[in-house]
Amino acid sequence: MASYEELKKAADKKWAELTGGKKPWIRIGTAMCGHAAGAYDVLDAIKAKLKDKKIDAVVSETGCLGLCYAEPLLDVSKDGGARLFFGNVTPEDVDAIVDDYIAKNVVPKGKALGYLAGEGQQPIKGMGDLAKLPGIALQQRVALRNGGNTDPGDIFQYIANGGYSGLNKALSTMDYNAALDEIKNSGLRGRGGAAFPTGVKWSFLVNNTAPKKYILCNCEEGDPGAVNDKTILESDPFTLIEGLTIAGYATRSTNGFVFIRHGHNGPIDRTEEAIRQAYEHGLLGKNILGSDFSYDIEVALTGESYVAGEETALMEAIEGHRSMPRARPPFPAAFGVWGRPSNINNVKTLSYAPEIISKGAEWFNSIGVNKSKGTAIVCLNGHITRPGLYEVPMGLTIGQVVNDIGGGVPGGKQLKMLQTGGPLGGVLPASSLDIHIDFDEMSKAGAILGSGGVIIGDDSVCAVDLTRNLVAFEQYESCGKCFPCRLGTTNLLEIVNRILEKKSRPGDLDLMRSVGKTMQAGSLCGHGQLGFNPIRSAIQHFEADFEAHMTENRCPTGSCDTPKYMPITTRPFSMEAVAERAGD
């Protein structure tokens, strides 16, 4: 078994060969955003062209740089020089990239990723130039530090860029308690939505002396508009594997599970390959890096269930049961998977651990504001000029992210609303741009950071229509175990459908508030407890949209004039069905 020093020496040698200019190195982003934009067609075209021209080059798949609007994104470095970036590449562009740039060192016009308009559209060469782009300039990449730079299928590229230095430091210079204290002192809070202090959560597991203890990594990620967890796994799965191993060491656990939604093959395949390579090089299994610490990790899959992301429903799924939440107490740290102590963390949370251990708690604590330390990974979607996935320091305003990074609303339209934190988050008005990305400040404003998704709506969006889509998602995804959620989401969707069709009844808004209060008080998990959030915030900030439908029989934007009735999937539990049965 090789030591860390031996692995690092081999990795550095391999990295020097890649970057030394002996062969052209072509990197293509094939994470989810690149894949959707046609990156694999470009990859095939590049390989065929190089073979046809008999050019010996290294071609690597990489993850996401965050510039999803520029995908497929490709870069070429040659002769030991800087990387030249090409954006929105198609297979038809490959001839010019190979024939002109790789063969003749002539930069082809049109596809070379340039500066912002007004700066001469100069080609971007190297990370220094790239940092001038608005989508990169305000980022501070920690969890995604290797995204778009290293091959997610090559553990040596990860190690050459500092990978496993955190685990090596923990195993060689820290005991369990010191590693745990480093996480506590860093101020890291959970990135799955609840923002609970991670070190405190881990300490619950430490205090349990059971011989078998589990760390579960949650990558169910069914939120519309958020792909940050899956992007980490597609871009740099080793940072998750290392972080999960550090969590196992700090909590004296024995096994880790990476929980991924079935059918998301990119994250699944890359995570499984990362685990295989970690075992191969002694970074998982028995006596890791020659220490007395042993740890095993495997991937566990779930079906298409949004509620499976709730921690107790996740445990039910791993055990082979239907994904439905458990009543608590007992809590997972006392009685988790198969009745053994368990701790559940989000992908992002665990992905910070390697850098925290490597660089120290004080370094991480210096990033961010107030009690929100570190960075946030934000997915910008909807009516936005530069949609993408951006990792920014906590404390930026929502306006900086939307306007300075995302480029604001396109087409001369005006920003009307933001929907943050997934379908259980809040709907905020344009005046909320001054709110800082801060767990507590966003919560006070009636929103949550949650999964990091931010959906931007311009002045063509109707708040009733947007709310209908969110509530329909919630109703469809309710597991049905507890009736306040099962009936409540159904009732809410019925009422919103009535309002949208201009068939509202007196007191409908108050009725929804009453249903939402019951859901919050009586539901087992956050799906029902938070299910009224989007309606509550939409009524609070956009009551005029609802009133126009209810009292004037019109949609203020016209987007609801074409009937868009959203079917109710649990019709036997609807109010109409109950009334019909009562009258029989």
CA distances from 340 to 158, 206, 212, 213, 250 (A): 33, 13, 7, 6, 17
pLDDT band at 584 (very low <50, low <70, confident <90, very high): very low
Quick count: other Cβ atoms within 10 Å of Cβ 379?
Answer: 22
What DSSP character marks residue 403?
I
pLDDT tier at 583, thresholds 50, 70, 90: very low
Name residue 436's beta-bridge partners. Answer: 397
pLDDT digits (tens, 9 = 90+) for 256-308: 999 998 888 999 999 999 999 999 999 999 999 999 999 999 999 987 788 98
Q: How far is CA 317 from CA 37, 70, 240, 299, 579, in A?
A: 32, 37, 21, 12, 35
Domains and CATH numbers, the chain: 16-134 (3.40.30.10), 163-365 (3.40.50.11540), 375-415+429-458 (3.10.20.600), 463-583 (1.20.1440.230)
Partners of 380 in beta bridges:
388, 454
- What is the residue-wise DSSP string for 80-103? T-PPEEE-S--GGGHHHIIIIIIH
Residue holding tokens 């068939």? 503
Mean per-residue pLDDT over the chain, rounded: 91
- Band (121; pLDDT cuts 50, 70, 90): low
Q: Over 50: is that where the pLDDT of 578 sits? A: no
CA 579, CA 584: separation in Å to the nearest integer? 9
Q: Is 537 exposed, middle or buried (0-12, 13-18, 19+ CB in 10 A)?
A: buried
Over residues 440-456, the pLDDT tens digits come to 999 888 888 888 889 99
Averaged pLDDT, 147-157: 97
- Both tokens of residue 387? 């949609």
Measured CA distances, 67 to 86, 113, 136, 562 (Å): 12, 11, 8, 35
For residue 570, pLDDT over 60 is answered with no
pLDDT tens for each residue of 434-491: 999 999 999 888 888 888 889 999 999 999 999 999 999 999 999 999 989 999 999 9
The 8-class DSSP code of residue 332 comes to: T
DSSP 8-class letter at 434:
G
Per-residue pLDDT tens digits for 155-173: 999 999 999 999 999 999 9
Residue 402 is inside which H or E element, if any?
none
Cα 574 to Cα 115, 358, 577: the distances in Å are 55, 54, 5
pLDDT at 582 over 90: no
Q: Which of 331, 313, 183 is nearest to 248 (CA)?
A: 183
Report the pLDDT averaged over residues 107-128: 68
Distance CA 569, CA 194 (A): 29
434 Cβ neighbours under 8 A, 6+ residues apart: 397, 398, 399
Claim: this prediction has a pTM higher than 0.75: yes
